[in-house]
Amino acid sequence: MYTDTGETTHEATARGSAAIVAIGPLVLLGALLWHPPLPGRLPDSNAVADAAAADTTMWGLSHLALTIASAMIVLSFVAVRGHLRDCGDRSLSAVGLGFVVIGSTLYAVLPGMEFSLLAADETGADLAATQDALESWFVPVLIGGSLLFAIGTTLFAVAVVRSATLGRTEALVIAGALVFFGLSRLVPIGVVQFYVQPAAALLALLPIAAEIAARTARPARAGAA
């Protein structure tokens, strides 16, 4: 029996891409749910200080998880870019990927800043005062990174609609979720940051992962026939 090794390799690569697209938002969801809840308007130095002091181990590990999640989201968008390129998109998602990478890199800096609260707790310093001191750096990095990320997700949204690989309604839903995913990082409210953001990420990326997997399965079924 003859096996097309090239086709098999392509299918394996596509399945890996689909998995990466799906894993990114799931890791983000887990990391944000693990993060101690911060209700209300952000930044809130007192709420942050109380959350960090309540369980320093959880605080440290959840922020490490957020850094990993940010990297996984980048990998998800790299895989989405490859899928859209295969579907005929030439530049929109490529430019969007650049904005997503830079925005996600800046977003990953934020958990690193909040590790300083662990050092403050160890040395007996005032955690709220430490967070206040960070705010002049934290807020500009958050806004700048979030704005760049939102530009990137918006470009991806346009690319999804133009690629015409999905039904019109499904493409518009995914595009809207991509835009909401990006814009959610700009909204300084805890419930939006910790719950709306991962929900939008899941709604945007899981259907794309399913589409990548489905496109892989269709040629395989045709070959078997």
pLDDT of residue 14: 85
Is 172 within the bounds of a domain? yes
Is 199 within the bounds of a domain? yes
Is 225 within the bounds of a domain? no
pTM: 0.90
Rounded to an integer, what distance in angstroms lies between the CA atom of residue 198 and that of residue 40?
A: 18
Tens digit of each residue's pLDDT (9 = 90 or more) over 32-70: 999 999 988 998 999 999 999 999 999 999 999 999 999
Domain count, the chain: 1
Q: What is the DSSP string of the chain?
A: ----HHHHHHHHHHHHHHHHHHHHHHHHHHHHHHSPP--SBS--HHHHHHHHHH-HHHHHHHHHHHHHHHHHHHHHHHHHHHHHHHTT--SHHHHHHHHHHHHHHHHHHHHHHHTHHHHHHHHT--HHHHHHHHHHHHHHHHHHHHHHHHHHHHHHHHHHHHH--S-HHHHHHHHHHHHHHHHHTT--BHHIIIIIHHHHHHHHHHHHHHHHHHHHHHHHHHHH-
Is 192 within the bounds of a domain? yes
* Residue-range definition of the domain harbouring residue 107: 5-220
pLDDT of residue 6: 53
Tens digit of each residue's pLDDT (9 = 90 or more) over 102-132: 999 999 999 999 999 999 999 999 999 999 9
Is 62 within the bounds of a domain? yes
pLDDT band with cut points at 50, 70 and 90 for residue 219: low
Is 69 within the bounds of a domain? yes
Whether 2 has a pLDDT exceeding 60, the answer reads no
